[in-house]
Amino acid sequence: MRASNKNKAELFMRLIAYIMNYKKILIGGLFIILFFGEIAITFSYKGESNRNTPVNEITPLSYRLTNELSSNSSMASIDSIFEDFIKRKKIKGASVALTKDSKLIYAKGFGLADEETGTMVEPKHVFRIASVSKLITAVTIMKIAEEGMIEINDHVFGPEGILNDSVYLNYKDKRVEEITILNLLNHTSGWNNKKDDPLFQSLSIARKMNVEPPADIETIIKYYLQKNLYYNPGTRYSYSNFGYAVLGKVIEKVTGMSYEDYVQFAILHPIGIYDMHVGKSSFSERFKNEVCYYVQGRDSRVYSFDGSGKLAPQVYGGNNIELLSAAGGWVASAPELMKLIVAIDGFPEKPDILSDETVKLMTMASRRTRKLIGWRGADGYGTWWRTGTLAGTSALIMRNKNGINWVVLMNTSTKGKSKIHNEISKIMFKAVKSVEEWPDYDLFNYNNIEPALAEK
């Protein structure tokens, strides 16, 4: 569904405000074309030359926090339990953020951000969050839908679909025309990534499509449209990284902005998040406050996705983080990621950025159907969770019905990848249960870098 004049005008005014407020440099023009009452907007800009410089020199929340600020005696049991956990599991470093009644009362790093330099993890450190990125993409899509720019039952492909550009009209299976945004959101599009995940085959796909590697998402989509669907759209759940990568292109097509820019502009910056980005694949391009990534056991080497012919570790060059983008490419600190969760958790203490109806729609699923939007799981009684795993990183978000939420990020792949999230969950439940008296401050509102809140 095309955006109404009113919604386009509102978007235009917001874009202008964004430019004026953050003093971005335009790399293209901003053209306003009035034709038969329609407003078409094309907006692009060049970001800061240093990706690590916060927008408009705003100091992100995580940079205002230190480990000492969470050194409250009432929370000492959490320190002890988690320190024992990462030591026992041989995890290099981790970051934990915890809220109670929408107040950030704990934000602390454990272990090493960089083993070579001996740098310890602090709240400011960002981690790859892998498939937790899908929740970010889902929130953005649902916000766009609330603003009337799309409907979640809109079709994605075909002449009447959102991605009706000529490059996407050459498809093998006519059923792709039936795929809706909702199908992509809840993994019922008909693709099966367990058998074939193109986001981890970009090097071979580049060769098959006769393009210079690395293959971009447009090339990946064109390639995958030449395959048959495994199921009829909407009939069967099958987890799909590719589906969320397509949603990233939907966001770009509908808004006229790059995926990352729009998410930051429309979702993150308005709620005070300034240090979340789509990550980079190589060690040399990592953010100045990004942790290093480690793999337990043998560090297997694979051919680099860039087509150089060189062997690279999976954590740096083996996986194309930029390609994963909307499906698994974001980096974030635990406190800022928690700030996003508080804005979509449905609790009354702080306003959400999505309506109650949308929050309910995203989390309304039984253990049998699993047709959640963005989230990975829900127990049907008010507890929701989202997991993420890549070589060198694991992430877990838990929204609990008792109002106590947590984020745990780790920079180490454990040998038992499939079990690590359950183990983290058990440890965190134990840690939360150990707290006898909760502090009443809110680190979300803290602006000074000094340990003034300790013992208060």
Number of H helices and E strands in the chain, helices first, is 12, 18
Q: Note the pLDDT tens digit of each residue in 371-395.
A: 899 999 998 889 999 999 999 999 9
Whole-number pLDDT of residue 52: 47
Verify that 349 and 284 share a domain, yes or no: yes
pLDDT per position as a tens digit, 140-159: 999 999 999 999 999 999 99
**338 lies in some domain:** yes
Strand-pairing partners, residue 252, are none
Is residue 371 within 8 Å of residue 184, measured between CB atoms? no
Q: How many CB atoms lie within 10 A of CB 427?
A: 20
Task: Examine the domain organization and report whether 298 and 377 are in the same domain.
Answer: yes
Q: How many residues does the chain have?
A: 456
Residues 362 and 406 occupy one common structural domain: yes
Average the pLDDT over each of 105-109, 367-371, 425-429 and give the range with the smallest value: 367-371
Q: Is residue 264 part of a domain?
A: no
Q: What distance in Å separates the CA atoms of residue 191 and residue 173, rounded to the nearest whole number? A: 11
Shared domain check, 94 and 35: no
Which CATH number covers residue 411? 3.40.710.10
**Contacts of range 374-377, beta carbons closer than 8 Å, 24 or more positions apart:** 374/134, 374/135, 374/136, 374/137, 374/138, 374/139, 374/142, 374/185, 375/135, 375/138, 376/131
Q: Are residues 339 and 380 in the same domain?
A: yes
Give me the residues paired with residue 46 across strands.
25
Q: How many domains would you assign to the chain? A: 2
- Domain of residue 27 covers 1-47
For range 256-279, the mean pLDDT = 97
Asked if residue 223 belongs to a domain, the reply is no
pLDDT at residue 260 is higher than 90: yes
Higher-confidence position of 288 and 35: 288
> What pLDDT, in 10s, does the model give residues 201-235?
999 999 999 999 999 999 999 999 999 999 999 99
55 forms beta bridges with none
**Domain assignment of residue 175, yes or no:** no
Which of 425, 398, 389, 209 is closest to 293 using CA atoms?
Answer: 389
Residue 214 preceded by cis peptide, ω within 30? yes
With 70 as the cut, is the pLDDT of residue 284 above it? Answer: yes
pLDDT at 329: 98
The neighbour count for residue 37, using CB atoms within 10 Å, is 6
Domain membership flag for residue 31:
yes
**pLDDT, tens only, 309-355:** 999 999 999 999 999 999 999 999 999 999 999 999 999 999 999 99
41 and 14 within one domain:
yes
- Strand locations in 27-179 (E): 31-35, 38-42, 45-46, 93-100, 103-114, 119-120, 127-128
Averaged pLDDT of the chain: 87
